[in-house]
């Protein structure tokens, strides 16, 4: 389970009542409704924006395809092996 932190929020009476109605209707706790709302209206749009920005950056990269796919594939496999070996060594404390 993710680490949690507590915050205190002051709501107008009408906000509280409406959220309590939603929670009761959906069979949820009020805190769950508030958490879902924060995720849906604050955090999800930020995540979508970050993904969109990453995609734009990726599409902006202008790299020519390799002239010789076979040699590129060998180089790539060697780099993957080096990376894997270095991670394994690091975990073993070498």
Specify if 47 maps to a domain: yes
Specify if 93 maps to a domain: yes
Let me know whether 52 and 80 are in one domain: no
Q: What is the pLDDT of residue 64?
A: 79
Let me know whether 55 and 34 are in one domain: yes
Let me know whether 24 and 48 are in one domain: yes
Let me know whether 37 and 15 are in one domain: yes
Distance (Å, whole) CA 33 – CA 46: 19
Let me know whether 26 and 55 are in one domain: yes
Let me know whether 56 and 71 are in one domain: no
Let me know whether 57 and 70 are in one domain: no
Let me know whether 20 and 58 are in one domain: yes
Specify if 1 maps to a domain: no
Positions of the chain with pLDDT lower than 70, given as ranges: 87-94
Q: Are 61 and 55 in contact (CB under 8 A)?
A: no
Let me know whether 55 and 86 are in one domain: no
Question: Domain of 33?
Answer: 10-63
Q: What is the pLDDT of residue 90?
A: 67
27 backbone φψ class: left, alpha, beta (φ>0; ψ -120 to 50):
left
The DSSP call for residue 39 is I
- Residue 28, Cβ neighbours under 10 Å: how many? 14
Q: What is the pLDDT of residue 9?
A: 94
Q: What is the pLDDT of residue 35?
A: 95
Q: What is the pLDDT of residue 94?
A: 53
Q: Are 40 and 22 in contact (CB under 8 A)?
A: no
């Amino acid at each position: 389970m993710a680490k949690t932190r507590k915050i205190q929020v002051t709501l107008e009476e009408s906000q509280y009542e409406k959220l309590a109605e939603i929670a009761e209707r959906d069979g949820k706790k009020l805190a769950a409704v508030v958490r879902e709302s924060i995720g849906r209206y604050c955090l999800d749009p930020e995540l979508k924006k970050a993904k969109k920005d990453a995609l734009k950056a990726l599409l902006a990269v202008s790299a020519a395809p390799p002239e010789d796919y076979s040699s590129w594939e060998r180089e790539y496999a060697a780099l993957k092996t080096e990376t894997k070996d270095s991670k394994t060594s690091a975990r073993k404390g070498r």
